Amino acid sequence: MYRYDNYDQTLVDERVAQFRDQVARWKAGELSDDEFRPLRLQNGLYVQRHAPMFRIAVPYGMLAARQLRCLAELGRRYDRGYGHFTTRHNLQFNWPKIEDVPEMLAELAKVQMHAIQTSGNCIRNITTDQFAGVAADEILDPRPLCEIMRQWSTFHPEFAFLPRKFKIAVNGAKEDRALTWFHDIGLHIVKTDDGLVGFRVIVGGGLGRTPIRGEVVREFLPWQDILSYCEAIIRVYNRYGRRDNAYKARIKILVQALGVEEFGRQVEAEWAHLKGGPATITQAEYDRVTAFFEPPAYQTLPAIDEAFVQQQVKSLPFARWVERNVRPHRVPGYASVTLSLKKPGTAPGDVSSEQMEAAADLADRYSFGELRVTHEQNLVLADVEQRRLFDFWQEAKAAGFATPNIGLLTDMIVCPGGDFCDLANARSIPVANAVQARFDDLDYLWDIGDIELNFSGCMNSCGHHHVGNIGILGVDKGNEEWYQITLGGEQGNDAQLGKVIGPSFAAADVPDVIEKIIRFYIAQRQEDERFIDTFRRLGADPFKVAVYGDKARLKAA
Amino acid sequence: MTTIIKNRQAVADDYTLLTLAEGDSAETVALPAGPLLVPLAVWQVRKADLQSRGTPVGVWLAAGEGPEAIADDLAALPVVGVHFPKFVDGRGYSTARLLRERHGYQGEIRALGDVLHDQLFLMARCGFDAFALKEGKDIAKAVAAFETFKNPYQAAVDQPQPLFRRRAA
Ligand code: HEM
Ligand code: SF4
């Protein structure tokens, strides 16, 4: 992965000094709370329900074992011994003291980490495919370009005070694993017939209160031009995006108001001045950065390891884990493993300091010392030898990481919700746990198969409920916690928004409702049909009847 | 006389900042004597008047006003002001870059309004060279902000080459 040189390190060190000074001036009353707020936000520091929340960037999801050890230590020293991985490749601490944050930043800087632009109305951490560099369907490893974009966006002088937050996702494979259709800018790496590499540029997607699927603003942009083209897009947004209402301030609202053609015309007019300028990425820089992402020193191994096959025959639990949590690798004899942070009964995405250290050790001993954070709030060890998977599994199990549920119902995306978040309408973690408990029978869970259940505690949609096959959203009805269900959302190439099925439910009823939906699916599915395919075939109405009974039937008629 | 930051130092400044109060009209508002920084609307309707006074006149742009509106007049303007109604309203950063990089403006670009210590570094990168700091803020302390980062990554007005081009050299 990328390693800082003197320039990168100096910038991060200067950032620590800057924030230390800002905290001191705030404490001395020289900065008002209002003046300090955006400064602390741009260093990942929120003030939440119980305590400040501190969000650390994991750029495009790449994490070295020593960095994870540093996070473990920070969790122990400044928090309550755990952290929370988010959908945007970040790690959040829920209990630090504001006064400690400069010291935490200084510790992070020592392992080439920071919290720069993890919040605030600026360009946020850029996200990508967790299988970048190892996926069989990859067109080009997106990480070098993500790193180049990370550097460009870091302290961008023109775009530190945009109308609203700005999120960019890059996908380099045929299958979209980065939710690119629902970002402010989504980028697909594409190769033309004559071998040119560039991006399809999608703009104006987002979830939140007004979920909108992005639209293509340019079918092909040479990779060298990505920085200047993004500057053109963001400049148009910075100048003309709405600032009168925070809910209407995302770029998606501007794109909708202008129409994507007119928006694209304005971007092209702006870009005409920037194209070919100094921001054009040079081959030398691309090569310099790419060198950090060269494949590690893989062994030459047979494509199928016989012992590994035998171990799966002998141990059903191992075979199940392999089926759900292990993915084929492009290099013969290797596999990519997902460590599940979704053990039923725990808060999805939470990891204790001990677990972070265990994961770091696994990475060191099995996977070249590197890990990736996934937007589904799990960890990936991308380069494990097949022949060592059985040993790996036993160790992962001991550390509580081997729940064989990746892609299954209990592998939910869940935001922190009302237990931690000030903006929440309702709690999400206990209700998610209740649903997990209802589906605790592994055979049943397996029989249900691939399904995404996503859960947000309010309309801000941090839990991506709109794109869950089943989405659960916390709503506030007369000061009580209620839950609205959506069906039919999907990520990937056919990313779509789910639709609300009807009136919301009390917390205690949510597991029943989910069970009704699942039972109906099992009864209706044809052969190996996935939940989402059955849903697409039948439409929402019969599912509504399954949940609401005759009331829905009358309405549907 | 007020004190502003110019070229990274506190200096005395004798421009009067003209604003249109409720009920004032651009056509009739009284123009104080001496160097004057006027709103775009006043400039647009009274350009000839203003230019015949024999004292320096600059224009200031509100956050929603772009440099396009004065592009043809820039050679005649020693100062262009860019107003920040709130420091979190970042439109002025684009305005300043466009003035310098698109329109080749060489005069003074002055940040007005909610201008604070912690934004100075970014503003300077975008082409501002004068800053009317918000009242009550410590100018002597604020000038240190220009040194926050020695080698930023991106190309901007102060450093037209991005770090990757300098790094390679
Ligand atoms: C607990 C502190 C948090 C607060 C106060 C918070 C606040 C918000 C707000 C206000 C928005 C909506 C912004 C908008 O629509 O303009 C938002 C969006 C989002 N948040 Fe959070 N969030 C928090 C935690 C998280 C966590 C833990 C995750 C990941 C699990 C997350 C992931 C996201 C994502 C992906 C979006 C984007 C949705 C979109 O595209 O609009 N947030 N957050
Ligand atoms: S979705 Fe709402 S409740 Fe959940 S973390 Fe985001 S803002 Fe908080």
What's the distance, CA A342 to chain centroid? 15
pLDDT (tens digit, 9 = 90+) per residue, A66-125? Answer: 999 999 999 999 999 999 999 888 999 988 999 999 999 999 999 999 999 999 999 999
Ligand 1 pocket at CB < 6 A:
A 46, 48, 53, 86-88, 92, 164-165, 182, 206-208, 250, 415-416, 420-421, 423, 460-462
Instruction: Give pLDDT, residue A553.
Output: 66
Token pair listed for A392: 């790996």
Whole-angstrom CA distances from A168 to A128, A147, A149 are 9, 12, 10
Q: If contacts are CB pairs under 8 Å, which of residues 66-85 in chain B contact chain A?
A: 66
User: How large is the average pLDDT for residues A48-64?
Assistant: 90
Domains of chain A: 6-61+88-110 (no CATH), 127-290 (3.30.413.10), 311-398 (3.90.480.20), 413-556 (3.30.413.10)
For chain A, how big is the Rg over CA atoms in Å? 23
DSSP code string of B44-63: HHHHHHHHTSSS-EEEEE-T
Q: What is the mean pLDDT of residues B7-26?
A: 94
Burial (CB count <10 Å: 0-12, 13-18, 19+), residue A354: middle
Tell me if chain B has a CB within 8 Å of the CB of A156. Answer: yes
Which residues fall within 8 angstroms of residue B15, CB to CB, at 6 or more apart? B34, B35, B36, B37, B56, B58, B79
What mean pLDDT is predicted for residues A418-447? 93
User: Is the CB of A267 inside 8 Å of chain B's CB atoms?
Assistant: no
For B32-59, the pLDDT digits (tens) are 999 999 999 999 999 999 999 999 999 9
The tokens of A158 are what? 């023109």
Chains A and B: how many Cβ contacts under 8 Å? 107
Per-residue pLDDT at A478: 86
CA distance A529 to A549: 24
pLDDT tens-digit readout, A484-526: 999 999 999 999 999 999 999 999 999 999 999 999 999 999 9
B146 touches chain A (CB under 8 A): no
Q: Which two tokens stand for residue A166?
A: 């700005």
Q: By the CB < 8 Å criterion, does B153 face chain A?
A: yes
Rg over alpha carbons for chain B, rounded to the nearest Å, is 17
User: pLDDT at residue A550 above 90?
Assistant: no
Residues of B in contact with A13 (CB under 8 A): none
> What string of H, E and C letters represents the secondary structure of B147-163?
HCCCCCCCCCCCCCCCH
Distance in angstroms (rounded) separating the CA atoms of residues A176 and A128: 9
> What is the distance in A from the centroid of ligand 1 to the CA of A195?
38
Selecting from B97, B119, B148 the residue whose C-beta is nearest the C-beta of A18 gives: B148
Residue A545: φ, ψ to 5° = -65, -40
Mean pLDDT (whole number) for A241-247: 95
Q: Reduced to 3 states, what is the DSSP secondary structure of residue B133?
A: coil
**pLDDT, position A554:** 60
Residue appearing with tokens 């609202």: A253
CA neighbor of A85 nearest in space, from A467, A424, A359: A359
DSSP A212: B
CA of A94, nearest ligand number: 1
Nearest residue to A531 (alpha-carbon basis) of A477, A456, A453: A453
Q: Rounded to the nearest 5 degrees, what angle is found at the Cα of A120, between the Cα atoms of A129 and A179?
A: 20
Tokens of A482: 């209620």
- Calculate the alpha carbon distances from A46 to A37, A97, A349, B80, B121 in Å: 8, 11, 19, 37, 23
Neighbours of A449 (CB within 10 A): 16
Q: How confident is the model at residue A551 (pLDDT cuts 50, 70, 90)?
A: confident
Query: Phi, psi at residue A221, to the nearest 5°?
Result: -130, 125
Residue A4: the pLDDT is: 97
In A497-556, the residues whose Cβ lies within 8 Å of chain B are none
- Kindly determine whether residue A162 and residue B118, on different chains, have CB atoms separated by under 8 Å: no
**What does the pLDDT read at residue A345?**
87
| Buried residues in A324-352 as b, exposed as e (16+ CB within 10 A) | bbbbebebebbbbbbbbbbbbebbbbbbb
Per-residue model confidence (pLDDT) at position A47: 81
The pLDDT of residue A106 is 97
Q: What is the mean pLDDT of residues A11-22?
A: 96
Domain count, chain B: 1
Arithmetic mean of pLDDT, A420-436: 94
Containing A226, the helix (H) or strand (E) segment is helix A226-240
Give the helix ranges, DSSP H, for chain B: 40-51, 91-97, 120-125, 139-142, 163-168
**CATH code assigned at B158:** 3.20.20
Q: What whole-number distance in Å separates Cα of residue B17 and Cα of residue B37?
A: 5
Q: How far is the CA of B35 from the centre of ligand 1 (A)?
A: 49
Question: What is the domain range of residue B46?
Answer: 2-166
Q: Do A157 and B164 touch (CB under 8 A)?
A: no
User: What is the model's pTM?
Assistant: 0.95
Report pLDDT digits (tens) over A269-288. Answer: 999 999 999 999 999 999 99
User: Tens digit of pLDDT for each residue in B122-148?
Assistant: 999 999 999 999 998 999 999 999 999
Distances (CA, A) of A303 to A279, A309, A487: 43, 11, 40
Residue A124: what pLDDT? 96
The secondary structure of A175-186 as a DSSP string is S--S-GGGSSEE
Ligand 1 probe mutation, A91, A166, A462, A464, most atoms within 8 A of CB: A462
**pLDDT tens digit sequence for B56-89:** 999 999 999 999 999 999 999 999 999 999 999 9
Q: Chain B residues with CB inside 8 Å of A166's CB?
A: none
Largest Cα separation within chain B, whole Å, is 58
Whether residue B104 lies within 8 A of chain A, CB to CB, comes out as no
Of A148, A239, A277, the CB nearest to B91: A239
Round to whole Å and give the CA distance between A47 and A190. 41
Mean pLDDT estimate for chain A: 95
Total H helices, total E strands in chain A: 19, 21
Among the bound ligands, name the one nearest to the CA of residue A427. Answer: 2
Amino acid letter for position A553: R
Q: Do A158 and B93 touch (CB under 8 A)?
A: yes
**What residues of chain A, 243 to 262, have a C-beta less than 8 Å from chain B?**
243
Ligand nearest to the CA of A412: 1
Cα–Cα distance measured from residue A369 to residue A22, given in angstroms and rounded to the nearest whole number: 35
Instruction: Tell me the chain B residues in contact with residue A15 when contact means C-beta distances shorter than 8 Å.
Output: 149
Q: What is the pLDDT of residue B1?
A: 74
Could B118 and A39 be called an inter-chain contact, meaning their C-beta atoms sit closer than 8 Å? yes
Q: Which residue of chain A has the CA closest to B96?
A: A158
Task: Give the distance from residue B154's alpha carbon to the nearest chain A alpha carbon, in angstroms.
Answer: 5
With an 8 Å Cβ cutoff, is A152 touching chain B?
A: yes
